[in-house]
Structure 1
């Protein structure tokens, strides 16, 4: 924005009077940033203007040099709570005489180089108004201001102005219009602002034959339905939820039956911390996270004095709980005496409903009533899920409250090309790289589900248009059958784009490096990547890998011992097959079965086609080899009788962790693993662990003790493998070790392994801003593709 300089007069030179343009980049639109600038400039007696444009915010400022410097120093500290300033760039200005005052100018368009703030939970000021009988927004379910409310879920285009959101359908009443145009008001240019006179409205519909009376108070009626054990579908910020009284056994069971979700834990909403402490034991950090603007679901220890319905989280020791994120939810919970289940508004395997018509069609067989409103949801957003692991908040699902907050790329990626990474098959996300930032999509579900897959392309097209992203490079997983990979190959061929294939576990570790801000020229680190499945360079399924890795490449140093999966994906659905495969591989099955026929696991297998499975294992037919750590967890859970078959992804491993007796983690009886070498590659061999586990089963030890000994033994084994690699290679990984992959959602294993590695002097890198599971895979793909496209840094010692 700089123009040709004119020579200032003598007086101006003496006192430093002049002008400057300040380009502000970051998350500075839709958060009250311009009025904050306006107030600060007026307070300091400066003149000029501030405007939104496609690059962020542009400030043109006139006044004495010292005062302008004071403005720049104060601006970061006085920015609104939801703002994030990434950079301030100053250019001298002299467009003639300074303007007489400071004002807020009309937004300008152009190529988009700015972001959108994530949807934010209700702020304290709005909440106070909603519950103040004297306020005109009393009991209004859609109150918001520049410090809170919907953002991505309602926006059609940038710059972020009301006309480009779904609020354009609601013309402002005179009182709201006055607030919207008053820079001194916290609702100045709050694009979703509204009131009962001019904004969205709420109503309740019956899904059965009997309609509700036309003047029914929808919130009060919904509360009565929930208290009576009915299921209500509720249209929220980013989609629909299904709600039911969480203390009502029959109602929760009915919800599970109708939703076709027999076992997976259900999320909860509580009114406040007092209600929360009746059922859970949150730490101060967990409570603060729940009360923050993202308002995620947080996994909390279920150790309160009261209990919920048995069907809320069967087989678990934690509840997934959130506080109200909108005025609608605050009002709904205000008069309820118990928590509610608040789970996604869908049948299992489908994406949650987004529109009223979808809900009427798809939820009629599940919900008894629909609590609806007429503000359109433009972008569907699931609830985010966070768990504390070893003192760090770990995102399990990144969506509402976090997306689309961009992540600044590490040093060395300033000149990165525009990259589109298409992620994996499970917990699918995609990632856009542009302007040295990564924009990771919200969690979109599992692409092997037809309805989720169908929703992917419109969502991707929306992001590309919204953020004006024109990819030059496409990054994909090399798996031949991933839908995302096939889509990427087709798109690259059709559009003439460079295509980069990034091995699954390399992508996991690269995402961890980026999450920790490691520069592009950093020395390679040692990485442990543990998950359920990833396509390996040798055509087998990897998932228990120790790699030496940087952004450009990796070297496989060790892995878990591979075991065949009899029946392929059927073995994942039926973990008893995995346990059988492990025992068949390591023992004389006939003798083992005869010696242990009194154990429940062996009795359960008497009616299974073991002879056929043995032939498959011997011949390799439909029995792919896998080193996946997640499959080892499944096999142990099956042998312990926790989970012979699964109804949702990761169920066996989740129930195995939940079974752990913490008192037995350090009892000195961790199950042993050994290290063997196969074709020059060290492997962590579980056969001794199986023998110890069988011995403990015969001694009738409690399942919690055996589950603890397995976790402790695996942590010992992985740490021993790290020691072994150091003995082989000497100094390795520059003293840093990165942990990534879905297995590290397991807090018991994660904390045990981190403790062992840190005791050995390692700096442990793990995920915090991006999921460690496949939800972070697209970030890793994108940054590897960028690193390979850019010229190698001169001072780099790459693994490639």
Structure 2
């Protein structure tokens, strides 16, 4: 997310001559994600190759180097370091300055310097590298079947680090002093574990234990893994402490185990993620092209939503009514060893009750998960912060993050301009927090929803974490405009000036920051709900942003939501609200019992608990109910997903869907719903026409505005069909569409948009004070 910085080389000062070449000394300062990636060992080896003396050190700001040698050798060293850094490094700044020559011999790795303002990036956790996986499967290797095998190229980082600089004493590995053999590897420049802060082995590192639901130890080490595998084979549910938290695991082939997990986790229909033992078996489950294979095997190793293969024989209850499976491969030695033992795919879903944050402490897990899992596979390496699995899907041939967590967070976004130091508390759902420093916006891992006490506590912990690690001292704290959101209440506790940023404007600003867009920009911001500046429920908004202010140029025709938030779980209520505005409320009568109908229509008639909304997300729900897909749902987005999947099964009709009028800033959806209600077409045809009509709306508004850059933001653009149709139409008409990739299109990006909105407010205040003076 951060571009490699251009080097700043001052002309070296010549002090002496070595082997006929002038000798120079340079000081190099490198910032970015340069700790925990083997950067110091890489510099050490590189300096030796170029016959240089000097030293390298981790600092709170990144990596600092002093290197001395013949001028051509120093230049070669700098060029190679700049152009070919270690594989997982993200270089944000590279500055080399000539300094006076010194008398010294050799090149060394010096102890870290913790002084100064923290600026180095905390690195995300990295999936196991091929070398470590080979070692744990080699009976002749001393790490054979050791589940905590890591090196400088892989393993835990963000989930175990306490502070900057990244050194073992500042990680939870400080509890495990290295044995002589590990110490030798750590000190050996030729070893892959040279200065690997997570280095450990069976003799000195963390180990496994299996507990029952009362916390009694049933087995340890290798026996614990075998015990856990036997439980899964028998159809039991296992809670396993992994890299950044707990997984709930069961046999993905066993319908009874899946059904039991759904009942206990209170997750009736939401899809479960699965983990396949290897690529060979993964390809029997899903359609995996080259791009998907590369993503699955990447150091980030997210869950990837992929089409279910025709030969896949896993139970439909893994993802009811869904043609996709959320697939991942083992990304830690522990997962790899468990899957080696089992030899079949497993469900590996977040260790929580629905709506709660993921568990990451074994004692907490016993309390929160004992009603779900019968056995607990735990270990004694503390997890210092919870990091859930990231989730991605492909749109327009490119991977799009839907949940940004393990493997990606907390790497920052380069906003392309200097920002004041600000903090943002994010959205109420799919919460993340963020802060800005310089050009960078640091975004936390996915925290989750703030509906529960556990969710609110997780949010507060993540906010304090950023404050402590980076010493954040914000000028403002940005928050959502909604006065009662948990993230808004959190913002009030900081004791600094606040900046309220409207939800849908934040979506647009986040997308602009991701792509570094210069205004003017047409922002299309569609989602389920967000608190509007008029106190109403927004969700289908069009904004023109000129760099200083937003012009609200359009929105969907308002309709009521009978039952308020209950309509989110019951698409039939959204449909009733739509039909009531059309004067056809009775068309929804069959979707309610007699008692329900009397109550809901009476409340609707009086306007009681029936707020007005412009939500595009609720229009998708209404359409899903109208065509007969979902009257009720069990998780957010289920109806819209069903509509997308139905549409994907249709052959696009030669007849265009009706165009929706755009007059006086209002997009009228009534012609579309009138058409769908009267159409004799199949459910799939009607679903496709709905998507096509919604994509056409975006093009029509863009043509009316005549602004080349159009950004599509908000949760509705998790829908691949909608997004691809809109992008295709915009491009064909000569517009430049932008969609989310590195940031989620959903509320996981809101904290970034809040930072940008608060920055506009601060800069406006500065500008106004200058004018007044």
Per-residue Cα deviation, 1:455-509 (whole angstroms, up to 9, x for no partner)? 2212211121112222122111111221212322343xx3xx2322211111101
1:703 Cα deviation after fit: 2.0
The separation in 2 between residues aligned to 1:51 and 1:747, in whole angstroms, is 46
123, 126, 134: which is aligned to 1:117?
123
Query: Is the Cα–Cα contact under 8 Å of residues 582 and 670 in structure 2 kept in the other structure?
Result: yes
The separation in 1 between residues aligned to 2:78 and 2:163, in whole angstroms, is 30
Equivalent residue runs for 1:101-112 within 5 Å: 101-110=106-115, 111-112=117-118
Query: Is the Cα–Cα contact under 8 Å of residues 559 and 614 in structure 2 kept in the other structure?
Result: yes
Aligned residue in 1 for 2:3:
none
Aligned residue in 2 for 1:540:
536
Per-residue Cα deviation, 1:570-624 (whole angstroms, up to 9, x for no partner)? 222222111111112113444xx4xxxxxxx643324253344334334333221
The separation in 2 between residues aligned to 1:199 and 1:553, in whole angstroms, is 56
Decide whether aligned partners of structure 1 residues 793 and 62 sit closer, same or farther in structure 2, where only a CA change above 3 A counts: farther
Per-residue Cα deviation, 1:172-214 (whole angstroms, up to 9, x for no partner)? 0000011112222221221111000000001222337997466
Query: Is the Cα–Cα contact under 8 Å of residues 506 and 549 in structure 1 kept in the other structure?
Result: no
460, 464, 488: which is aligned to 2:491?
488
Decide whether aligned partners of structure 1 residues 566 and 6 sit closer, same or farther in structure 2, where only a CA change above 3 A counts: closer
Decide whether aligned partners of structure 1 residues 14 and 197 sit closer, same or farther in structure 2, where only a CA change above 3 A counts: closer
The separation in 2 between residues aligned to 1:23 and 1:792, in whole angstroms, is 34
Aligned-partner SS, 1:17:
strand
Query: Is the Cα–Cα contact under 8 Å of residues 127 and 154 in structure 2 kept in the other structure?
Result: yes
Aligned residue in 1 for 2:342:
336
425, 428, 441: which is aligned to 1:425?
428
170, 176, 180: which is aligned to 2:176?
170
Aligned residue in 1 for 2:661:
675
Decide whether aligned partners of structure 1 residues 8 and 315 sit closer, same or farther in structure 2, where only a CA change above 3 A counts: closer
Aligned residue in 1 for 2:713:
740
Aligned residue in 1 for 2:724:
751
562, 582, 600: which is aligned to 1:566?
562
Q: Does structure 1 residue 713 correspond to structure 2 residue 683?
A: no
Q: Does structure 1 residue 581 correspond to structure 2 residue 593?
A: no
Number of aligned positions between the proteins: 758
The separation in 2 between residues aligned to 1:573 and 1:33, in whole angstroms, is 50
Aligned residue in 1 for 2:760:
787
Query: Is the Cα–Cα contact under 8 Å of residues 29 and 116 in structure 1 kept in the other structure?
Result: yes
Aligned residue in 1 for 2:641:
654
TM-score by length of 1: 0.91
Aligned-partner SS, 1:311:
helix
1:708 Cα deviation after fit: 1.5
Greater CA drift, 31-40 or 610-619: 610-619
Query: Is the Cα–Cα contact under 8 Å of residues 671 and 693 in structure 1 kept in the other structure?
Result: no
Greater CA drift, 779-788 or 422-431: 779-788
1:705 Cα deviation after fit: 2.2
Aligned residue in 2 for 1:516:
515
The separation in 1 between residues aligned to 2:467 and 2:190, in whole angstroms, is 35
Greater CA drift, 340-349 or 293-302: 340-349
The separation in 1 between residues aligned to 2:350 and 2:718, in whole angstroms, is 21
Equivalent residue runs for 1:212-611 within 5 Å: 212=218, 217-410=223-416, 412-413=417-418, 416-491=419-494, 494=495, 497-518=496-517, 522-550=518-546, 552-590=548-586, 593=587, 602-611=589-598
Aligned-partner SS, 1:548:
strand
Specify every segment of 5 or more residues in structure 1 that has no aligned partner in the other structure, as ranges. Answer: 594-600, 795-800
1:435 Cα deviation after fit: 3.0
36, 44, 49: which is aligned to 1:38?
44
The separation in 1 between residues aligned to 2:181 and 2:145, in whole angstroms, is 18
Aligned-partner SS, 2:316:
coil
Aligned-partner SS, 1:435:
strand
Per-residue Cα deviation, 1:615-648 (whole angstroms, up to 9, x for no partner)? 4334333221111100001111122332222222
Aligned residue in 1 for 2:102:
97
The separation in 2 between residues aligned to 1:571 and 1:10, in whole angstroms, is 78
Aligned residue in 2 for 1:797:
none
1:308 Cα deviation after fit: 1.3
Decide whether aligned partners of structure 1 residues 14 and 173 sit closer, same or farther in structure 2, where only a CA change above 3 A counts: closer
The separation in 1 between residues aligned to 2:339 and 2:333, in whole angstroms, is 10
1:78 Cα deviation after fit: 3.7
604, 607, 618: which is aligned to 1:631?
618
TM-score by length of 2: 0.94
Per-residue Cα deviation, 1:403-445 (whole angstroms, up to 9, x for no partner)? 11122221x32xx221101111000011110132111011111
Aligned residue in 2 for 1:703:
683
1:158 Cα deviation after fit: 1.2
The separation in 2 between residues aligned to 1:399 and 1:97, in whole angstroms, is 45
The separation in 1 between residues aligned to 2:338 and 2:674, in whole angstroms, is 54
Aligned-partner SS, 1:148:
coil
1:719 Cα deviation after fit: 1.8
Aligned-partner SS, 1:663:
coil
Decide whether aligned partners of structure 1 residues 605 and 7 sit closer, same or farther in structure 2, where only a CA change above 3 A counts: closer
The separation in 2 between residues aligned to 1:6 and 1:333, in whole angstroms, is 55
Aligned residue in 1 for 2:608:
621
Specify every segment of 5 or more residues in structure 2 that has no aligned partner in the other structure, as ranges. Answer: 1-7, 768-773
RMSD after superposition: 2.3
The separation in 2 between residues aligned to 1:97 and 1:346, in whole angstroms, is 58
Query: Is the Cα–Cα contact under 8 Å of residues 410 and 443 in structure 2 kept in the other structure?
Result: yes
Aligned residue in 2 for 1:597:
none
Greater CA drift, 564-573 or 604-613: 604-613
Aligned-partner SS, 2:349:
strand
Query: Is the Cα–Cα contact under 8 Å of residues 208 and 220 in structure 2 kept in the other structure?
Result: no
